[in-house]
Amino acid sequence: TEAHISAMEETRELNAYIVETPEIALEMADASDKKRAAGDAGLMEGIPIAMKDLFCTEGTQTTAASRILDGFVPTYESTVSGNLWNAGAVMLGKSNLDQFAMGSANITSYYGNVINPWQRKDSDAQLTPGGSSGGSAASVAARSAMAATGTDTGGSIRQPAAFSGIVGLKPTYGRCSRWGVVAFASSLDQAGPMTRSVRDAAIMLEAMAGYDAKDSTSVNVAVPSYQKALTGDIRGLRVGIPKEYRMDGTPKEIDDAWEQGIEWLKSAGAEPVEISLPHTKYALPAYYIIAPAECSSNLARYDGVRYGLRVDGESLDDMYERTRGEGFGDEVKRRILIGTYVLSAGYYDAYYNKARRVRTLIANDFKKAYESVDVILTPTAPSPAFGIGEKMDDPIAMYLNDVFTVPASLAGLPGISVPTGLSSEGTPLGLQLLGKAFDEETVLKVAGVVE
């Protein structure tokens, strides 16, 4: 813990943390030492981690990286963070993110962007760690945390993991409780581990996961010992290669890394099978209707009365308007406007209901594919980490980052990003493995071989 506190201080220029909590960390580490001495060590005993600042932490500021929650100190603990503390994990601080987890580059945070510890060779230009869990990814990559929590609505664990050369696992929707996690799009949001290795991800997921009566979408299925799944034996497993993920304009090195991954799995005895996920091209437009729709509803609660910021006005309506006007960032406002529009009478059927139907078609594509394969292998993102400032004034270019991650999110399926090597620029590349619902074990097992 002390070494990681020093690393946290030495890498402050990355802006990976919104709040550092070294005193809390030392206290928790002391308690851990005692538990270990008493022979009562938990699964994560004494492991110092960064907690994405989207998880409510009792007594420690929780902002979702938005001005509207600046100064908000929850009086309760999210289930997932509570599970981690119960397993012995130690909190180093709250990690930075895109505002309300909306973004792919960690540039929409009220507390400033996060810088990727990786740089292109021969260039000191600053790169994005990806987003929205950018601070979590950067802290693990910079070794200022041993692991971190992330949340993934459309790729926010997997894409930053790929950009930062670490492992990121989005579990099946319903595997980890959403209780106490600031909501973005409730039918998509899912918490998961961001770690240095697949084994670490397996251990951490086991500590985070589990049924929670306080989240009505939490699913009551047993949590297995994920570490036991890491046998390295993938002989005879069928790995789906979806042909629709070979997209025009994907850089050659992304496709090359994908080919490399297929070769690795083949030489370990797995069998690659070409599959079709025919509705893939509709996933991104459907996601960017459903996610903003849910966000516009979820973010209605920030009214200046109940949480964080209040900007006084001449009347109640004026107070609402000023608080929301000054409290939310531009990307959040854009999403609220899109969401309100697609949910309004007259457009509801044309946009929102249509997007929901597309979502069912996408889920059915996966169901059909999994009749003949055990896992699916794809690239995680269509590019390596890009420069800070790039794509900033072009939301569509930014949204295209999610093209490979969003379909599994819409279908609620588990996915992991594993580092697979370096781009020609010397920056990390990641491959994504997707699995059947609640079959994180196979995903982890195959990921352990790709790693």
- Strand 238-242 relative to strand 271-275: parallel, antiparallel, unpaired? parallel
Which one of the spans 32-40, 82-90, 148-156, 321-329 is the region binding ligand GLN (CB under 6 A)? Answer: 148-156
Size of the site for ligand GLN (CB under 6 A): 13
- Strand 48-52 relative to strand 90-95: parallel, antiparallel, unpaired? parallel
* Catalytic-role residue among 95, 136, 156, 177: 156
Phi, psi of 49 (to 5 degrees): -130, 160
DSSP string, 194-213: EESSHHHHHHHHHHH----T
Distance CA 282, CA 362 (A): 8
- Minimum gap (Å) between residue 307 Cβ and ligand GLN: 20
Residue 291 is a binding residue for ligand GLN (CB under 6 A): yes
Distance CA 350, CA 181 (A): 31
- Minimum gap (Å) between residue 184 Cβ and ligand GLN: 6
| 379: exposed, middle or buried (Cβ count in 10 Å: 0-12, 13-18, 19+) | buried
Decide whether 184 or 264 has the Cβ nearer to ligand GLN: 184
- Residue 90: name the closest of 15, 158, 2, 182 by CA: 2
- Residue 415: name the closest of 436, 397, 399, 385 by CA: 436
Which one of the spans 147-155, 244-252, 274-282, 437-445 is the region binding ligand GLN (CB under 6 A)? Answer: 147-155
One-letter identity of residue 109: S
- Residue 105: name the closest of 393, 446, 418, 417 by CA: 393
Give catalytic status of residue 132 as yes or no: yes
- Minimum gap (Å) between residue 402 Cβ and ligand GLN: 5
Query: For ligand GLN, what does the binding mask look like between residues 163 and 202, x meaning CB under 6 A?
Result: ---------------------x------------------
Residue 402 is a binding residue for ligand GLN (CB under 6 A): yes
Residue 132 is a binding residue for ligand GLN (CB under 6 A): yes
Give the three-class secondary structure for 417.
Answer: strand
Residue 64 is a binding residue for ligand GLN (CB under 6 A): no
- Minimum gap (Å) between residue 358 Cβ and ligand GLN: 16
* Catalytic-role residue among 132, 177, 383, 417: 132
Query: For ligand GLN, what does the binding mask look like between residues 75 and 114, x meaning CB under 6 A?
Result: --------------------------xxxx----------
Cα 166 vs. chain centroid, distance in angstroms? Answer: 12
Give catalytic status of residue 266 as yes or no: no
Give catalytic status of residue 52 as yes or no: yes
Q: Which residue has the tokens 């569509």?
A: 396
- Minimum gap (Å) between residue 94 Cβ and ligand GLN: 16
Query: For ligand GLN, what does the binding mask look like between residues 150 and 169, x meaning CB under 6 A?
Result: --xxxxx-------------
Q: Tokens standing for 203?
A: 């251990």
- Minimum gap (Å) between residue 112 Cβ and ligand GLN: 18
Residue 128 is a binding residue for ligand GLN (CB under 6 A): no
Distance CA 396, CA 331 (A): 12
- Minimum gap (Å) between residue 405 Cβ and ligand GLN: 7
Decide whether 127 or 241 has the Cβ nearer to ligand GLN: 127
| 214: exposed, middle or buried (Cβ count in 10 Å: 0-12, 13-18, 19+) | exposed
Residue 280 is a binding residue for ligand GLN (CB under 6 A): no
* Catalytic-role residue among 32, 52, 383, 436: 52
Element (H, E) at 59: none
Which parts of 247-373 fold into alpha helices (H)? 252-267, 283-298, 316-327, 330-342, 354-369
**Which residues are identified as catalytic?**
52, 132, 156
Binding site for ligand GLN (CB under 6 A): 101-104, 132, 152-156, 184, 291, 402
